[in-house]
Each structure stands twice: as C-alpha cells, then as structure tokens.
Amino acid sequence: MNVLQSAMASIRRTFWAVGGFSCVVNILMLTGPIFMLQIYDRVLTSRSVPTLIALAGLVVALYLFMGIVDLVRYRVLTRIGHKFDEDIGRSAFVTQVSSPIKLGPTAAKTEPVRDVDQIRSYFASPGITALFDMPWMPIYIGIVFLIHPWLGYLAVVGAIILFIIAVGVDRVARPLMRDTSALSAQRNAIVSSGRRNAEVLHGMGMMGSIGSVWDGVNERFLTANAKAADAVGLSSVLSKTFRLFLQSAVLALGAYLAIQEVISPGAMIAASIIMARGLQPVEMAVQNWRQMLGAQQAYKRLKQTFNAPTSEEALNLPSPSQGLQVENITVVPPGSRTPTLIDIRFQLAAGTALGIIGQSGCGKSTLARALVGVWPPLRGVVSLDHAPLHQWDPDKLGQHIGYLPQDVELFEGTIAENIARFRAGAKDEDVIAAAKTAGCHELILSFKEGYGTQLGDQGARLSAGQRQRIALARALFGDPFLIVLDEPNSNLDGYGDSALNKAISSTKARGAIVIVVAHRPSALSATDKLALIDNGRLADFGDRDEVLKKVMRREKVDNIRPAQLPQPADAGTPPATTANPAE
C-alpha cells in the first residue's frame, strides 16, 4: 500500500461520521415544510395561538440543532482535509523537490504539493457537502410522491433535466480543466526559472523576450480557463434558473390540485419546498463543478505520482570506513535515453583524494551525481564498503556523504543552519569545525550577525565565492566519509584555493575519501589519484603525476596546459588506493 492509499484509508472511516451528520441535517431539513403544512392546515383553520407558539418554539429548537450539526459536519470535513495533508504532505514535498532528479525536463509538470492543497481545499468546500446530500434526493422526491403522484412525476422530470445539465458540463469542462492545469504548471515553471535567473534576465536584456514567452503561455491559459469558466457558469445559471422554474411549476400544479380539493394548501406549499430542497444538491454540485474536477484531476495525478511501490525499509548499515567501489556503471540522465557514462570502474581506499578531469560535457558532473546517489546507474553499482547505495536509507546515507555541486544553492535561513544542513539538534562546535576546515570561519565572523546571518533566497546576500565556501563547509559538516566536490574552486580566489587544498588534505588525513571534479589545475594539488574521462568512458586512471604526464602528451583536457599543471605531491604521501580502471 503506497502513501496515498494509506492516507485515504485512514480518513475513509471518518466519511461515515460525515454521512451520519448529513443524515441528521437532511432529516431536519424537513422541519420547514412540515411547519408550513401545520401552519396552513392546523393553525390557520383552528386560529389557535398557543399551537402557533408551541410549533414556533419547536421549530427554533430544531433549526438551532440542525445548525450545530451542520457546523460540526463542516468542521469534520475541514479536519479530514488537514489529516490528508498531514499524511501525504511530506511525501508530496519530497517528491516535488526530487522530481528534477527523477524526471528531468518533465519535472515542471509535476506539482504534488499543489495537488494536495487542491484536494484539501475541496474537503472544506460546499461541493463535497452537496455530494453527501445528493443521496437524499430520491427520499425527498418520494415524499413529494406521497403528497401526490403528479407532483412526484414533475419532480422526477426536473431531476433528470438537472442531471443532464450536470453531465453536459462535465463533458465540456473536463478537457478544458485538464488543459488549464497543464498550462498553469507551465506558467509556474517559467516564473520559477525567471526568479532563479533574474540576474541574467536583467543583465542581458532578456526580460522582454522571456516576458513574451510568458505572455504566450498565459494567453493560452486564460483562454482555456475562460472557456471552462464559461461552461460551468452557463450550466450553473441554467440549473439555478430551471430549479426556480420547477419550484414555481410544482407550486402551480399544487395550486391546481388544491383547487380541485385533491390536496390541502399546506401540502401544496410543503411539496414545493421539499422538491426545491431535494434538487438543491445537484445545483450546488454544478456550481462547484470546476473545483470538483480540479480535485479529481489532482487525485489522479497523485495516484500516478505515488503509483510506484514503496521500497522496503532499509537496514541500518554500519558507518562506512574502508572504501568506495564503482563497478561498471552506466548512467543515463533523467529524461534522456542516451548514456553519458559507460562502464566506469574503479576503487578507492579510505584516505584517498581523487581528481577527475576531462573535456567539457564528457560526463564528469554525471559521475559526481552518480557517486552520491543523485542519479542511480542504469547498470552497475556504486558501493560504500561493498554496500550498494540503494540499500541505504537516504537520510542515513546523507550523513556519510558531503556533496558540493557545480551550481551552488543555499537555502533561506541562517549561515549556521545552512552549514548544519538544517539538521535538528546540530551542535555549534560541529558547525564551527566544518567552517574552519573549509577556511570560512573568519569570513563568517566578518558579517555583522556572524553565524546567525540570515541568507535570502538561494543565498542572494552573498557573492558567488562566499556561497561556494559556505557550501563547502556544508559538505564537510559531520565529517562525512565520502566527499564529492564538483568544480569547488570555480569562484574562489587564491586564498580560497589554498583553503580548499588544506581542507582536502585534512579530510584525507582523517580517513575520508575526497573526489574533486576540476577544470582549474589548482584543485588537483592535494589529490593522490587522477581519472581522465573521455566521451563518457574512463580513459585513464592512476597516480596523479603519471596521468598528468599522459595528459600533457595527449592534450585532452580543457584549460590545462603543461605550464599550469600542479607540482607532484609530497614524497611522504603514500598511495592509499587500489585501482581497476576500465579497459
């Protein structure tokens, strides 16, 4: 049972309570017609004021009780929506945040958090109460039949016509709502992309061009939305107008029957009120049809999102301490069918630093993502101490991995919270130790609020180099065993380069594995081993200096020339790795 099925099962029992409250409300709805019947047939004929007072007091009490029950029903439905959100909201958030990793370019179409919001809102809407009231319509029509069959037949004809209107609006509005939802997601994707690239848009004068793209999508969205609104609005007006006409028609037919002395005047009024109440849920459902369709489509999307079977709970594996094994992995990026890495194979022992070099687009960043489990291999396996990454619980595995991607992203919060990975109960001394190892402790203290400095969205208050150094501290937080740094010095100055190499050396010294993807040669100074990636394959692997000599001869790597190559490592640094390069 997946998380969505579990959430629905947990709230389904509560629907029985809502059904019970709806039963009480609909029975008490007969108070008005019965009171009207008694007024016309008993009070007016007997002219009894005490009877009128007694009936009025009883009606007040019944209406008060009905209002309380209806309020409780509304609150129960609201709580059901909140319970649904509590049960599935976290999973929806994780799914939406990780969708770019799993779905690639199609991730923008997946917004499970918004789908959960839409379903929760529907639980608190009049549309769902109409669904609970609709089963009572045959009972109301049956009561009208008891008053007189002709009135009952008229009510049945009216109900059929209202259902035809409801079916018609469903056929017209459903595809329009589907188009509206897809275009809305596309609009949101353009806005999100624009926010992330606001500097580029302003700096390169692209705001007008991107605005034109947004205008096109927005125009299609507004067209589809207007058509859906027009269809629902037309059906809503038709259903309301017809119900009012039908109520008057029942009243007219009842008046004729009363003239013929077949029924009493009180029965005539009561039949009109009961019929109107019986058909009101259909009208209410039509008026809220867009919201109902939106909730149905949101639930359908959630079913597709959570359709994959849930993985079994991972074992609590021991902390890795021996090495990294990469066994013939082939990696295909999400949303693509073409592998960018093919049959990569090597091993690293604890206390080793590996540099990865290669031409742009050869697959270096893909390898970095595969090593930390972001992009699982299509074939082969990445293991820590011979335990494949997929056997680890993701949160437990994350405690043993430090990752600095090419595109550094910091979150809204304090510097300390970002370094501590927003981990609850993180110790101050661990945060400071990570910052010192990354060489940014003094930088952080130079800010007015120090470690308590609030960062804007994506760390907007910091320069690119400052963000990169704080992100390096985040990668080093908690002394992880495997640290993967993708171009960690791309925005660093000379001091930052020196601090980076010191961090790599100190991390190696405590027995961790450090993997550095580099274009600038200064990042390779503290590495022991070097891997050359060429067109997605491991072209060379071995001691750093030996591979560099081959690189100088081949001239395979961008931005690295013989005069720029780092000096050989200190003689006292022993190789601490075994390597099985791909053939």
Name the nearest CA neighbour of 364 among 558, 204, 526, 554.
558
Helices and strands of the chain, counted as H and E runs: 20, 12
User: Does 570 have pLDDT greater than 50?
Assistant: no
Say what the pLDDT of residue 473 is.
93
User: Does 563 have pLDDT greater than 50?
Assistant: no
What's the average model confidence in pLDDT over 338-366?
Answer: 90
**Residues 438-458 pLDDT 10s:** 889 999 999 889 999 888 765
Say what the pLDDT of residue 232 is.
79
Which amino acid type is present at position 256? Y
Between 149-153, 247-251, 324-328, 486-490, the lowest mean confidence (pLDDT) is in 486-490
The per-residue pLDDT of the chain, averaged, comes to 83
In this prediction, residue 315 has a pLDDT band, given cuts at 50, 70 and 90, of low
Contact 542, 346 (CB under 8 A): no
In this prediction, residue 105 has a pLDDT band, given cuts at 50, 70 and 90, of low
User: Does 62 have pLDDT greater than 90?
Assistant: yes
Tell the residue number behind the tokens 């395979």, with chain if given.
556
User: Does 493 have pLDDT greater than 70?
Assistant: yes
In this prediction, residue 576 has a pLDDT band, given cuts at 50, 70 and 90, of very low
Percent of the chain surpassing pLDDT 70: 90
Say what the pLDDT of residue 102 is.
62
In this prediction, residue 557 has a pLDDT band, given cuts at 50, 70 and 90, of very low
Tell the residue number behind the tokens 């791909």, with chain if given.
582
Say what the pLDDT of residue 348 is.
93
User: Does 481 have pLDDT greater than 50?
Assistant: yes
Sheet arrangement for strand 379-384: 341-349, 323-331, 379-384, 387-388
CB-based contacts of 72, cutoff 8 Å, min separation 6: 21
What's the average model confidence in pLDDT over 216-236?
Answer: 85
User: Does 22 have pLDDT greater than 90?
Assistant: yes
User: Does 324 have pLDDT greater than 80?
Assistant: yes
Say what the pLDDT of residue 579 is.
39
Distances (CA, A) of 419 to 331, 404, 514: 30, 12, 18
**Residues 134-159 pLDDT 10s:** 889 899 999 999 999 999 999 899 88
Say what the pLDDT of residue 458 is.
59
Residue 315: exposure state from Cβ atoms within 10 A (0-12, 13-18, ≥19):
exposed
Which phi and psi (to 5°) does residue 56 adopt? -65, -40
- Compute the 3-state secondary structure of the chain and give helix, strand, coil in percent, each to the nearest 5: 65, 10, 25
DSSP assignment of 134-181: GGGHHHHHHHHHHH-HHHHHHHHHHHHHHHHHHHHHHHHHHHHHHHHH
Domains in the chain: ranges and CATH: 3-305 (1.20.1560.10), 322-400+480-492+510-583 (3.40.50.300), 407-479 (3.40.50.300)
Question: How far is CA 495 from its chain centroid?
Answer: 40
Contact 97, 80 (CB under 8 A): no
Say what the pLDDT of residue 562 is.
41
* Rounded CA Rg of the chain: 35
3-state secondary structure string across 283-297: HHHHHCHHHHHHHHH
In this prediction, residue 574 has a pLDDT band, given cuts at 50, 70 and 90, of very low
